[in-house]
A and B are shown apart, each in its own frame.
Chain A
Amino acid sequence: MAKKRTRTKSASSNGDPQTLQRPPAEILFADELRALAKASAKDPKPPGWKLSPRAVLKFVLGDPSEDRPAKFVGRRAFLERCIVSLATNRGLMLIGEPGTAKSYLSELLTAAISGDSTLTIQGSAGTTEDNIRYSWNYALLVSEGPSENALVPAPLYLGMKHGKLVRFEEITRCALEIQDVLLSVLSDRVMAVAELPEAQRSLYASNGFNVIATANTRDRGVNEMSAALKRRFNFETVHPIADIQEELQLVQRETNRNLSRSQVPVTIDPELTELLVTTFRELRQGKTVDGKGIETPSTVLSTAEAVATGYAAGVHAYYYSDGQVQPLHLVRHLVGSVLKDNPDDLKTVRHYFDHVIKKRKTEPWQAFYDARDELI
């Protein structure tokens, strides 16, 4: 039954992946997943998993021998821990600064392990139990009374029933009592549907079910998790990309892809990408490339922010100047990325310009420094 459903879904989902604005991982990488499943068919795998743990690792980290690049940049040991957590009876909690690709990683993992990354609960202040467990089709409920037919399953229900991974995004944005819905599900692996007749009252999780939650370290203070729920998760911190070369490539690639997607025929120079990435890294780590300590602003300077800044600078250059991205454009849009709510951050960045960038006498750093008056 479960198999049937997935097959019909991926076949019928509005046709050609080309027309989708953003196809989910299992469609985008369908061929690769199929190949990996075939190759690892004989390897032992946890019950309910589509791929063996090693194949999942290969899917995420790429495979140089088959010329597949990494989809996510991170340490191997970290990913091994994540995958093992999912195979045990604890959920996986990915925490980290905004923009460190937590959600993307959870999408990749669910696509590889369950072949379906769409069982997603988006946590927010307005999330209710209905969004997590199930709700009712009231017309049917009134005419037929409570029955499985009248029940509208939510992601958690579906995941338990069909033995799939469920993603819970931004779990700490939800109120505590809503988060705690997961408590019994994670420990006893059963969901009670009190309204249904005796025989159908308990939904036991099929093999392969587990939860990947993501939480943002900046928001965690809003709704601290209960100790009981913490205990049922293994926590893993997703770090910003450690290697500058890898980050450079990623920013370069993503910025240019965004630009071409929005039909702006501008590319950003590798030299400027280096400048942008170096600036972001230095401010993020509180340390210059030659090892001097500097102040860090309170806003998050993630790789995603760097891409957004480069992208905005490109669009700006195309529409308002001669189509050549200049350091000046980067400075202008840097303000937007850095200055979110804390006015002191601007001082920090200004000091960074006065103190660090000033000393770099080569281009494009000089031009970057000369544009410092844009920091208003």
Chain B
Amino acid sequence: MDEHQMDALQRRLCDDQADVVFYPVRHHSPASADLLSQLIEELKPGAVLIEGPSDFNDSINELSLEHELPIAIYSYFQLVENQSQTATHHGVYYPFCEYSPEWVAIQAARSCGAAVRFIDLPWAESFEHERTTHRYADAELRRGRYVQALCERLQVEDFDDLWDRLIESQLGLSRRDYLHRVHSLCLNIRVWEQPISLSDRQREAFMAAEIRASQARFEGPLVVVTGGFHSGALAARLSGLDCPGSTDDAQENGARRIAQRGIALTTYSYQRLDNLTGYDAGMPSPGFYEYAWRQRRDRRTFDHQPLLSRLVDALRGRKQTLSTADLIAVETSAQAIAALRGRPHVWRRDLLDAVTSCLIKDELEYGCASPFIDAVHEVLRGERRGRLAQGTRLPPLVRDIQDQLETFGLRPDQRGRQIELDLTDPEGRKQSRLLHRLRILEIRGFSRRGGTDFSQRDNLDRLWELWQLRWSPEFEASCIEASRYGTRLSTAAAACLTQQAAQTERDATAAAELLILAAQAGVETLSQSLLESLERLIHSEPRFVGATSCLEHLLFLYCFDEALGTQRLEALRTLVRETFSRSLALCESHGRPVSDPRSLLRGMRTMRETFRRLPDVLDWTAEEIGDVIRRVQSDAHKPPLLRGAAAGMLWSLGQATTESVLEDLLFFSDPEQLGDFLAGLFAVAREQVQRQPELLRAIDQLLLDYAADDFQAALPSLRLAFTSFTPREKHHMLSTLFQSLQPHLKPSAALATADAETVQEAVAIEERLFEAVKRYGLERQR
């Protein structure tokens, strides 16, 4: 495309008196919205064509009900692979807020009697090549070298600032200038960012065809409201000009078919709008732009001070000290920063920077949230939540819940009832999953009264659950409330769990509990983002015991579970692997004493067990684990219990010989330490200990060398160490010991039954006896 062609296209685009006026918007931009409503009022077009889902055109009147914004159109469908018959669910939002150009266009069109039509390709037909879940995102505009170069030239940080600088904070910007700037910006982005994606081309072809059809259908001029990125291509297609990506190529239709399609209004919130990042990111800080929009509508010059005072209230509400002097400093800085950036008034980023600069007296860690900045963002975000007008069709989630309750015969009634589910029965499992999902979403009227406890796992003989179902007046309200998490029960439950995971910090045990919750609600709720946040939790767990208890849960779910369907589940492999690595790392760095030393042993046993059961899942070989554990074992700062367990682990993994274990034993011959060391060793290498009589002999030898006091000192911890064996095991060990010491004696004779106290008494008497002998000089001369 040469310069000449570009000029021609640009001229066509900026012509606001043509039959078809192409109005470029940035979605959710108040400046776009304001100038657009002026254009529609002046032009009185026959129809306003908007980039929106054309499959919603039949219900477009629903938009004129008395909704409270923000709301969104949600388009969803189920995709079935022809070959495997597996179904996946997909959905996308088209959010509207009060200052969205699309919304304002609908209002303006209605007040001047123009028709309104959505002209975009239904999402189900173009989604294959897309990654967004939010149709009014700025992905096309944000990326790319052109924007980067322009930011550098204009000395701004990113696309948001660039837009504010060029359009949003220019309050006196005329429509002519607006059209000129936005068209030229978007056209250049398009030219620089070739090739244009297939989905964009498909959509533009569809939109162009819709515009042509509307030209025939409606009298008078048309206003085409689309994202600026598409305007150029549409104009080129309609007036035979040249523009990158304005040709089509043959469409292929894959081996999949679309089943169950739907589109409906649902509630939305500023919080969701602002939290979107990456491909889904749009204009940030909706609260700020809503404020700017209102000021603009009232034709007032922009005044940031009410915002600043709202900010001060929010911060003081959070018990932050904020003196008048501080406020003066913020105000001065904001003005100065705005001046440095060449702006006549303080704008979003200036306010943020002034607060950061003047009020924060601490280090801001990179990439970490600061509560202070969070509060500022919260004020700029606003807390508006949408509400659908009476008479709107119910959001898809509500219908999904009702359908599923109907299918499984679980609809609650006013009298209430209890049902018992058998989790080994597939039907019972399905019902249980449904109920668990409702419980996660806090839908009123369903409570779990009893059943198998999968996080304690003390009794897995019987897999069952008892639920109480009773209709409550808040049932429907809570369903609508839950719509914000999604439109299908499974995805909504997954989103809710993901949010819970995101609100937890550094706690692997909590991650494991969430995982069990998700497993109970069915493996479909184990979404990728949930797994990622769980992984993050596990990674930040600081305690060895926490990490290994999580590993224990995972081992159960991955190896032994029979009811939840998580056995050998592909998605869990990464978690198992990561938790194991984390446990190993924490084992090496473990230093603090723990309140319950037994939990250390339990952790070590879990680790050994995981390796033994799942060597194919872990990315560690026995030698590599041996290297790490050997370092633990030889670290003099570690407690003897852990070192004993480490020795046991090496032994049972075949990474240490019996001789070396015997040598280690000598290290711990101190009566203070022997018991602890043995407790660790026995707990982890239980079988090896029984198979090797040498070890018992060596222990016996050590004990014989002890003076009586030493023996008494060592006794309690020794006794504790041996409690990990069953009586039968103890009997077996002792008889082998006797056999090897005194082969001529019958074991049963040697094992006279006597309780511990009698033995202790005997030892004491013996001790006194020998002392008396010594005192009288009667001991035998050697």
A interface vs B, CB < 8 Å? 53-54, 57, 64-65, 75-77, 80-81, 83-85, 87-88, 90, 95-96, 217, 220, 230-231, 233-237, 239-240, 242, 285, 292-295, 344, 347-348, 350-351, 354-355, 358-359
**What is the minimal beta-carbon distance from A311 to any residue of chain B, in angstroms?**
25
Task: Determine, out of B37-45, B325-333, B555-563, B772-780, the stretch whose residues face the partner at the interface.
Answer: B325-333
**What is the minimal beta-carbon distance from A287 to any residue of chain B, in angstroms?**
9
Decide if B539 touches A292 in the complex (CB within 8 Å).
yes
Judged by a CB distance under 8 angstroms, whether B570 is at the interface is no
Q: Bound complex: CA of A265 vs CA of B365, how far in Å? A: 39
B interface vs A, CB < 8 Å? 152-153, 155-157, 325-326, 329, 332-333, 336-337, 340-341, 349, 353-354, 356-358, 360-367, 535-536, 539-540, 578, 581, 584-585, 588-589, 591, 619, 624, 627-628, 631
Q: Bound complex: CA of A294 vs CA of B536, how far in Å? A: 10
Query: Which residues of B lie under 8 Å from residue A54 when comparing CB positions?
Result: 340
Q: Bound complex: CA of A354 vs CA of B361, how far in Å? A: 39
Decide if B333 touches A85 in the complex (CB within 8 Å).
yes
Query: Which residues of A lie under 8 Å from residue B627 when comparing CB positions?
Result: 354
Query: Which residues of B lie under 8 Å from residue A83 when comparing CB positions?
Result: 340
Q: Bound complex: CA of A211 vs CA of B548, how far in Å? A: 52
Query: Which residues of A lie under 8 Å from residue B357 when comparing CB positions?
Result: 81, 84-85, 234-236
Decide if A81 touches B337 in the complex (CB within 8 Å).
yes
Query: Which residues of B lie under 8 Å from residue A292 when comparing CB positions?
Result: 535, 539, 578
**Among B326, B341, B366, contact of A239 (Cβ-Cβ < 8 Å):** B366
Decide if B363 touches A95 in the complex (CB within 8 Å).
yes
Decide if A77 touches B353 in the complex (CB within 8 Å).
yes
Decide if B337 touches A88 in the complex (CB within 8 Å).
no
Decide if B581 touches A76 in the complex (CB within 8 Å).
no
Q: Bound complex: CA of A2 vs CA of B721, how far in Å? A: 82
Known A217-B363, A230-B361, A354-B628; further 13 A-B contacts with Cβ < 8 A = A64-B153, A76-B157, A77-B353, A80-B341, A84-B340, A88-B332, A88-B333, A234-B333, A235-B362, A242-B366, A292-B535, A347-B589, A351-B585
A57-B358 contact, Cβ under 8 Å, with A81-B353, A242-B366: no
Query: Which residues of A lie under 8 Å from residue B353 when comparing CB positions?
Result: 77, 80-81
**Among B333, B365, B589, contact of A348 (Cβ-Cβ < 8 Å):** B589
Decide if B358 touches A90 in the complex (CB within 8 Å).
yes
Query: Which residues of B lie under 8 Å from residue A354 when comparing CB positions?
Result: 624, 627-628
Query: Which residues of A lie under 8 Å from residue B578 when comparing CB positions?
Result: 292
Chain A residue with minimal CB distance to B321?
A227
Decide if B363 touches A237 in the complex (CB within 8 Å).
yes
Decide if A77 touches B340 in the complex (CB within 8 Å).
no
Chain B, interface SS category: helix
A87-B624 contact, Cβ under 8 Å, with A237-B364, A355-B585: no
Query: Which residues of B lie under 8 Å from residue A96 when comparing CB positions?
Result: 363
Decide if B628 touches A64 in the complex (CB within 8 Å).
no
Decide if A293 touches B157 in the complex (CB within 8 Å).
no
**Among A53, A87, A88, A235, contact of B361 (Cβ-Cβ < 8 Å):** A235
Decide if B366 touches A355 in the complex (CB within 8 Å).
no
Sample 16 A-B pairs with CB under 8 A, ordered by A number.
A77-B353, A80-B340, A81-B357, A84-B333, A84-B336, A87-B336, A90-B358, A230-B361, A234-B357, A234-B358, A236-B357, A292-B578, A294-B539, A295-B589, A344-B589, A354-B624
Which 10 interchain pairs have the tightest Cβ spacing?
A293-B539, A237-B364, A81-B357, A84-B336, A239-B366, A351-B585, A217-B363, A230-B361, A234-B357, A84-B337
**Among B153, B332, B364, B588, contact of A351 (Cβ-Cβ < 8 Å):** B588
Q: Bound complex: CA of A233 vs CA of B326, how far in Å? A: 11
**What is the minimal beta-carbon distance from B542 to any residue of chain A, in angstroms?**
10
Decide if B356 touches A81 in the complex (CB within 8 Å).
yes
**What is the minimal beta-carbon distance from B763 to any residue of chain A, in angstroms?**
43
Most central of A65, A76, A230, A233 by chain B CB within 10 Å? A76
Q: Bound complex: CA of A17 vs CA of B358, how far in Å? A: 39
Q: Bound complex: CA of A90 vs CA of B328, how far in Å? A: 11
Q: Bound complex: CA of A162 vs CA of B362, how far in Å? A: 31
Query: Which residues of A lie under 8 Å from residue B156 when comparing CB positions?
Result: 76
Query: Which residues of B lie under 8 Å from residue A295 when comparing CB positions?
Result: 585, 589
Q: Bound complex: CA of A359 vs CA of B628, how far in Å? A: 17
Chain A residue with minimal CB distance to B342?
A54
Q: Bound complex: CA of A348 vs CA of B332, how far in Å? A: 46
Chain A residue with minimal CB distance to B538?
A293
Query: Which residues of A lie under 8 Å from residue B535 when comparing CB positions?
Result: 292-293
**Among A90, A220, A351, contact of B329 (Cβ-Cβ < 8 Å):** A90
**What is the minimal beta-carbon distance from A365 to any residue of chain B, in angstroms?**
16
Q: Bound complex: CA of A347 vs CA of B353, how far in Å? A: 40
Q: Bound complex: CA of A87 vs CA of B339, how far in Å? A: 12
Q: Bound complex: CA of A293 vs CA of B535, how far in Å? A: 9
Q: Bound complex: CA of A54 vs CA of B341, how far in Å? A: 9
Query: Which residues of B lie under 8 Å from residue A80 when comparing CB positions?
Result: 337, 340-341, 353
Chain B residue with minimal CB distance to A56?
B340
Decide if A77 touches B157 in the complex (CB within 8 Å).
yes
Query: Which residues of B lie under 8 Å from residue A234 when comparing CB positions?
Result: 329, 333, 357-358
Query: Which residues of A lie under 8 Å from residue B589 when comparing CB positions?
Result: 295, 344, 347-348, 351
Query: Which residues of A lie under 8 Å from residue B354 when comparing CB positions?
Result: 81
Query: Which residues of A lie under 8 Å from residue B361 when comparing CB positions?
Result: 230, 233, 235
Decide if B340 touches A293 in the complex (CB within 8 Å).
no
**What is the minimal beta-carbon distance from A371 to any residue of chain B, in angstroms?**
15
**What is the minimal beta-carbon distance from B296 to any residue of chain A, in angstroms?**
25
**What is the minimal beta-carbon distance from B278 to any residue of chain A, in angstroms?**
13
Q: Bound complex: CA of A57 vs CA of B157, how far in Å? A: 13
Q: Bound complex: CA of A77 vs CA of B349, how far in Å? A: 9
Query: Which residues of B lie under 8 Å from residue A359 when comparing CB positions?
Result: 619
Q: Bound complex: CA of A371 vs CA of B297, how far in Å? A: 67
Query: Which residues of A lie under 8 Å from residue B326 when comparing CB positions?
Result: 231
Q: Bound complex: CA of A231 vs CA of B153, how far in Å? A: 36
Q: Bound complex: CA of A220 vs CA of B329, how far in Å? A: 24
Q: Bound complex: CA of A81 vs CA of B333, how far in Å? A: 8
Decide if B367 touches A285 in the complex (CB within 8 Å).
yes
Q: Bound complex: CA of A154 vs CA of B363, how far in Å? A: 30
Q: Bound complex: CA of A233 vs CA of B155, how far in Å? A: 27
Most central of A84, A240, A354 by chain B CB within 10 Å? A84
Decide if B337 touches A57 in the complex (CB within 8 Å).
no
**What is the minimal beta-carbon distance from A350 to any residue of chain B, in angstroms?**
8
**What is the minimal beta-carbon distance from B198 to any residue of chain A, in angstroms?**
28
Query: Which residues of B lie under 8 Å from residue A237 when comparing CB positions?
Result: 363-366
Chain A residue with minimal CB distance to B325?
A231
**What is the minimal beta-carbon distance from A92 to any residue of chain B, in angstroms?**
9
Decide if A235 touches B536 in the complex (CB within 8 Å).
no
**What is the minimal beta-carbon distance from A222 to any residue of chain B, in angstroms?**
15
**What is the minimal beta-carbon distance from B34 to any residue of chain A, in angstroms?**
27
Query: Which residues of A lie under 8 Å from residue B349 when comparing CB positions?
Result: 77
Chain B residue with minimal CB distance to A291?
B532
Q: Bound complex: CA of A358 vs CA of B581, how far in Å? A: 13
Chain B residue with minimal CB distance to A97?
B363
Chain B residue with minimal CB distance to A220?
B363
Query: Which residues of B lie under 8 Å from residue A88 when comparing CB positions?
Result: 329, 332-333, 336
Query: Which residues of B lie under 8 Å from residue A84 when comparing CB positions?
Result: 333, 336-337, 340, 357
Query: Which residues of B lie under 8 Å from residue A57 when comparing CB positions?
Result: 155, 340
Q: Bound complex: CA of A355 vs CA of B587, how far in Å? A: 14
Decide if A75 touches B336 in the complex (CB within 8 Å).
no
Q: Bound complex: CA of A293 vs CA of B360, how far in Å? A: 28
Chain A residue with minimal CB distance to B352?
A77
Q: Bound complex: CA of A87 vs CA of B336, how far in Å? A: 8
Query: Which residues of A lie under 8 Å from residue B362 when comparing CB positions?
Result: 235
**What is the minimal beta-carbon distance from B664 to any residue of chain A, in angstroms?**
21
Decide if A293 touches B356 in the complex (CB within 8 Å).
no
**What is the minimal beta-carbon distance from B365 to any residue of chain A, in angstroms?**
8
Q: Bound complex: CA of A257 vs CA of B420, how far in Å? A: 76
Query: Which residues of B lie under 8 Å from residue A285 when comparing CB positions?
Result: 366-367
Q: Bound complex: CA of A24 vs CA of B536, how far in Å? A: 46
